[in-house]
Amino acid sequence: MSYELSHLRELEAESIHIMREVAAEFENPALMFSGGKDSIVMLRLAEKAFSPAKIPYPVLHIDTGHNFKEVIDFRDRRTAEVGARLIVASVQDTIDQGRVAEETGARASRNRLQTTTLLDAIEEHRFDALFGGARRDEEKARAKERVYSFRDDFGQWDPKAQRPELWNLYNGRIKMGEHIRVFPISNWTELDIWQYIADDKVDIPSIYFAHQRRVFERDGMLLAENDFVERMEGEEVFEETVRYRTVGDITITGAVESAADTVDKIIEEVAATRQTERGATRADDRVSEAAMEDRKKEGYF
Amino acid sequence: MSEILRFATAGSVDDGKSTLIGRLLYDTKSIFEDQMEAVEKTSEKMGSEYVNLALLTDGLRAEREQGITIDVAYRYFATPKRKFIIADTPGHIQYTRNMVTGASTADVALILVDARNGVIEQSRRHSFIASLLRIPHIVVCVNKMDLVDYDEEAFNRVRDEFRDFAMRLDVPDLSFIPVSALVGDNVVDKSDNMPWYDGSPLLSHLETIHTASDRNMVDVRFPVQYVIRPMSDEYHDYRGYAGTVAGGVLKPGDDVVVLPSGFESTIKSIDTLEGTVDEAFAPMAVTVRLNDEIDISRGDMICRPNNQPVVTQDVDAMICWMDETQALSPRKKYAIKHTTRAGRVMVKDINYRLDINTLHRDEDATEIKLNEIGRISFRSTLPLFIDEYRRNRETGSFVLIDEASNATVAAGMILGESAG
């Protein structure tokens, strides 16, 4: 018997340790679930961490209303399967309450608005810890973020005042009104996620696999034809075989041309790709060099 | 299947650390086109004549603006043999706490020495931190060999000087590689410029370092993290102790003792969602069930009756102080986190403060300030189940937390029980 774990099993153990630590030390945690592959793996890890008991915290979805239908169906099915309580916080409600104003024009998105919805949900439900599926390989501001990311009363991240994080000893002490964002899959890469999905036969929404879709091109990305985006002049819709590398709002998530219709083919594609997933498919990170850092400081994930 | 290697690097702007990491990432195809484009664009904007690979690792706006690394950044790359996690830390003395943080989980410390300058203060400091944090393997890259005409003598000089100094430290595995990060000599491919060097280039060295035996496989330590009680019809009487193995090998049927109660039992099964396992070892996260119903809660420790950690309230330890607002001094009280156990401690005594450049011990020190390292003793309100840090990194480490600010103020490495 060799006393070595494969890299996936070591990553899994680290994540499970973090998820149990939060369950033990916080009063009112919740698991953020977007229906994307990272949050799906995170939900799977939570299932493993507490088996045979149910996951001892609810699942929170920030619903922008600009979703892929396949993803919402998947969310409902999967949370029912694991027996978790699903809390949906809706950006539309936040708009209707006059807390934020809808952006207008062809480039309007609700990406930025969801921060307010999230912070409102945290306050309403008095969450003291929120699990997020962010990975450090995704983006350079995230590469600097702790597993336990301290947020003040306003949900803000202060990159210069992060708590040192050593060994597997996490400091979850907070005052009333503050909370911790917890990133249990910080050390996973995109390829690790896919290998794990293959290894563990994790179910994922169909839009990750190659399919026919009506799309149009904008800023070098293929956006899905949908009811929420006004097309600009010259943006013609055409049919293409595509798949999604990330799942965000339908208004800002680009598809990639791909014929990969199985997990194994996706792994081959990911291993050979020369673009980061956010660079290739997310309009929200293209705004500036520090787009992610700025949004995180405001309370975004 | 590959295993994970975690390595820590420390360095400042000029010693080629960023270039070396950039090269490892670039040559293993771990830098993507859009990342490279962004770096090229920013370099140009900042008026740099060459593509500044440091921009790949400096993620925060303030770091890019000031051209310095402030915090620990984690980088990832993989080869068919292994997955690598780099904890990339700044090298200046004012960032000692960041170095300590990066070193706490590392299997390997990568230390760069400029072949022209030899072993300087900074190399000594980094080596000391690596040995203090018990990083089992130190790889010294003697860099900028291209600037000393790939001279074997120059390499040998640095190596001998480093060895002399390292004899004062406790380093289980020390190796030396002559490289030029800029040109790529001995980083990924073996260099033709140094036929006299018969060792491996850096990447194959990292791919083959044997780390499995670095973990403690002898002393069974299972800190109980969370008690699983499903309270469902199907699992009505299920009571499992979830945790991460911190040492040794657990098997069903093993005799165990639970601390602090001292009650003994045997392991009934070791459970995971996929079913039971025959053995559990570090760092597996499992759920242990026992054959007897005893009262066990978070913070308790399961171990073998004939091999137990020291149970004590009086601890002797090295600490690195991490708080900028207040210093550590005797009689102060802090919260402690040790394994899954949380309590409070009072500092009894500062034994000495260490000058991390000269290793001089100042026994008259009355406080330990930000980025300083010292030996202290403290008394804990609860008994702790401790091992010497050099024997077990998990049961030998702790953090101190300021109870007013909630800041993590110290990292601690246990030396043993102190006189009460």
Segment A159-182, tens digit of pLDDT: 878 899 999 999 999 999 999 999
A197 inside domain:
no
Are B227 and B240 in contact by the 8 Å Cβ rule? The answer is: yes
Per mean pLDDT, which range of A230-244, A286-300, B168-182 is the poorest? A286-300
Residue B164 vs residues A140, B1, B136, B169: alpha-carbon distances, Å? 39, 38, 18, 10
Among B244, B277, B303, residue at a domain's last position: B303
Length of chain B measured in residues: 420
The B residues from 129 to 168 touching A (CB cutoff 8 Å) are none
CB atoms within 10 A of CB B275: 7
Residues B108 and B208 in one domain: yes
* Amino acid identity, position B156: N
B314 and B298, same structural domain?
A: no
The CA-to-CA distance between both ends of chain B, in Å, stands at 49
**Exposed, middle or buried by CB within 10 Å (0-12, 13-18, 19+), for A261?**
middle
| CA gap B404, A184 in Å, rounded | 27
> Is B333 found in the same domain as B299?
no
Q: Looking at the structure, do residues A181 and A206 belong to the same domain, yes or no?
A: no
Other Cβ atoms less than 10 A from the Cβ of B214: the count is 17
Same domain, A59 and A164: yes
Question: For residues A173 and A180, what is the distance between their CA atoms, to the nearest angstrom?
Answer: 9
Nearest to A32 by CA among A140, A143, A149: A149
A124 with A155, same domain?
Answer: yes
**Residue A151 and residue A185 in one domain:** yes
Q: What total of structural domains would you count in chain A?
A: 2
Within 13 Å, how many C-alpha atoms sit on residue A42's CB side?
28
A245, A281 Cβ separation under 8 angstroms: yes
Contact between B378 and B387 under an 8 Å Cβ cutoff? The reply is no
| A181 and A233 share one domain | no
Confidence of residue B1 (pLDDT cuts 50, 70, 90): very low
Which of B1, B232, B411 is closest, CB to CB, to A164? B411
Chain centroid to Cα A142, Å, comes to 13
Query: CB distance from A187 to chain B under 8 Å?
Result: yes
- B82 interfacial to chain A (CB closer than 8 Å): yes
Is residue B221 less than 8 Å (CB to CB) from chain A? no
- Asked if pLDDT for residue A79 goes beyond 60, the answer is yes
B249 and B372 together in one domain: no
The DSSP annotation for B333-372 comes to EEEEEETTEEEEEEEEEEEEEE-TTT--EETT---B-TT-
What residues 249-288 of chain B have any CB closer than 8 A to a CB of chain A?
249, 271-273, 279, 281, 283-285, 287
Please tell me whether residues A44 and A160 are part of one structural domain: yes
Which of B61, B66, B245, B251 is the best residue to mutate to test the A interface, defined by the most A CB atoms within 10 Å of its own CB?
A: B61
pLDDT of residue A283: 62
Q: Find the helix or strand (DSSP H, E) in which A197 lies.
A: helix A190-199
Residue of B69, B100, B222, B225 to mutate for A, most A C-beta atoms under 10 A: B225
CB-CB contact of B187 with B20 (8 Å): yes
**B196 and B65 in one domain?**
yes
Which of B33, B98, B283 is opposite residue A10, by nearest beta carbon? B283
Note the pLDDT of residue B35: 73
Higher pLDDT, A267 or B70: A267
Label residue B393 by pLDDT band (50, 70, 90): very high
Short-list A145, A233, A243, CA closest to A186: A145
The pLDDT assigned to B231 comes to: 85
Burial group, residue B194, by CB count within 10 angstroms (0-12, 13-18, 19+): buried
If you average pLDDT over every residue of chain B, what do you get?
90
Please tell me the distance in Å from B366's CA to the nearest CA on chain A: 24
What is the average per-residue pLDDT within B169-183?
A: 90
Distance from CA of A60 to the nearest CA of B (A): 22
Question: Residue range A73-90: average pLDDT?
Answer: 93
On whether the CB atoms of residues B356 and B314 are closer than 8 A, the answer is no
Phi, psi angles (nearest 5°) of residue A133 = -95, 25
Q: Is residue A133 located within the same domain as residue A57?
A: yes
Which residues on A lie below 8 Å from B57 (Cβ)? 140, 143
Claim to verify: residue A117 and residue A35 sit in the same structural domain:
yes
pLDDT band at B134 (very low <50, low <70, confident <90, very high): very high
Which of A169, A190, A192, A298 should one mutate to test binding to chain B, selecting the residue with the greatest count of B CBs within 10 A? A169
The DSSP code for B247 is B
> What whole-number distance in Å separates Cα of residue B251 and Cα of residue A101?
59
Note whether residue A116 is domain-resident. Answer: yes
Which residue is closest to B81 within chain A, CA to CA?
A7
CB contact under 8 A, A166 and B104: yes
Supply the ipTM of this predicted assembly.
0.93
Q: What CATH number has the domain bearing residue B383?
A: 2.40.30.10
* pLDDT of B122 above 50: yes
Nearest to A163 among B284, B287, B407 (CB): B407
Q: Are B221 and B387 in contact (CB under 8 A)?
A: yes
Comparing alpha-carbon positions, the chain A residue that sits nearest to B230 is A53
* DSSP secondary structure of B134-188: T-SEEEEEEE-GGGGTT-HHHHHHHHHHHHHHHTTS--SEEEEEE-BTTTTBTTT
Distances (CA, A) of B157 to A95, B113, B126, B142, B186: 69, 12, 19, 10, 19
Decide if A7 contacts B1 (C-beta within 8 A): yes
Q: Phi and psi at residue A208, in whole multiples of 5°?
A: -75, -20
| Alpha carbons within 13 A on the beta-carbon side of B158 | 29
Least confident of A208-222, B249-263, B293-307, B330-344: A208-222
CB distance A2–B60 less than 8 Å? Answer: no
Do A21 and A170 lie in one domain? The reply is yes
Are A103 and A177 in the same domain? yes
Give me the domain span that covers residue A279: 202-285
Q: CA nearest A12 in B: which residue?
A: B285
Share of chain B above pLDDT 70, in %: 92
Question: Do B228 and A53 make contact, defined as CB atoms within 8 angstroms?
Answer: yes
Shortest Cα distance from A90 to chain B (angstroms)? 31
Residues B208, B186 share a domain: yes
Do residue A171 and residue A281 come from a single domain? no
Q: How far is B220 from chain A (nearest CA, A)?
A: 14
* pLDDT tens column, A83-132: 999 999 988 888 888 888 888 887 778 778 888 888 999 999 999 999 99
Same domain, yes or no: B259 and B339: no
Q: Determine the pLDDT at residue B14.
A: 64
Shared domain check, B228 and B269: yes
Asked if B232 and B288 sit in the same domain, the reply is yes
Beta carbons of B111 and B10 less than 8 angstroms apart = yes
A11 with A58, same domain: the answer is yes
The region of weakest confidence among A41-55, A243-257, B61-75, B109-123 is B61-75
Q: Determine if residue A105 is left, alpha or beta; phi over 0 gives left, psi from -120 to 50 gives alpha, anything else beta.
A: left
**Is residue B414 classed exposed, middle or buried when 0-12, 13-18 and 19+ CB atoms within 10 A define those classes?**
buried
Using CB atoms within 10 Å of the CB of residue B193, give its burial: 0 to 12 exposed, 13 to 18 middle, 19+ buried.
middle
Are both B232 and B320 inside the same structural domain?
Answer: no
pLDDT band at B297 (very low <50, low <70, confident <90, very high): very high
Q: What is the pLDDT of residues B139-148, one digit of tens each?
A: 999 999 999 9
Domain boundary among B236, B268, B303: B303
Together in a domain, B376 and B271: no
- Per residue in B19-59, pLDDT (tens digit) is 888 888 877 877 777 777 777 777 777 776 666 666 666 66
Q: Among B251, B289, B255, which residue's Cα sits nearest to residue B271? A: B289
CA distance B30 to B24: 8
Residue B33 CA, distance from chain mean position: 31
Of B303, B320, B346, which residue constitutes the final position of a domain? B303
Take residue B109 and report the two structure tokens written for it: 């410390």
Task: Look at residue B43 in the predicted model and tell me its pLDDT.
Answer: 72
* In a domain? residue A42: yes
For residues B12 and B75, membership in a common domain is answered with: yes
Residue A81 pLDDT grade (very low, low, confident, very high; cuts 50, 70, 90): very high
Residues 6+ apart with CB under 8 A from B74: A136, A143, A186, A187, B85, B86, B87, B88
Inter-chain CB proximity B235 and A274 less than 8 Å: no
B186 vs B20, B123, B180, CA distance in Å?
A: 11, 20, 7
Determine the pLDDT at residue B66.
62
Domain that holds residue B342: 310-417
What CATH number is associated with residue B193?
A: 3.40.50.300
Structure confidence at residue A112 (pLDDT): 81
Q: Which residues of B337-361 are buried (b: 16+ CB within 10 A; e: fewer)?
A: bbbbbbbbbebbebbbbbebeeeee
Query: Which residue is listed with tokens 């290793």?
Result: B359
Q: Which of A48, A140, A152, A275 to mutate to probe the B interface, most B CBs <10 Å?
A: A140
Assess if residue A102 is contained within a domain.
yes
Instruction: Return the CATH number at A133.
Output: 3.40.50.620
Q: How many domains does chain B have?
A: 3
Residue A1 lies in a domain: no
- Average pLDDT over every residue of A23-43: 95
Residue B133 pLDDT grade (very low, low, confident, very high; cuts 50, 70, 90): very high
pLDDT at position A291 is 67
Is the pTM value of this prediction over 0.80? yes
DSSP string, B24-73: HHHHTT-S-HHHHHHHHHHHHHTT-SS--THHHH--SHHHHHHT---S-E
* Rg of chain A over all Cα atoms, to the nearest angstrom: 19
The nearest CA of chain B is from the CA of A48 a distance in Å of 5
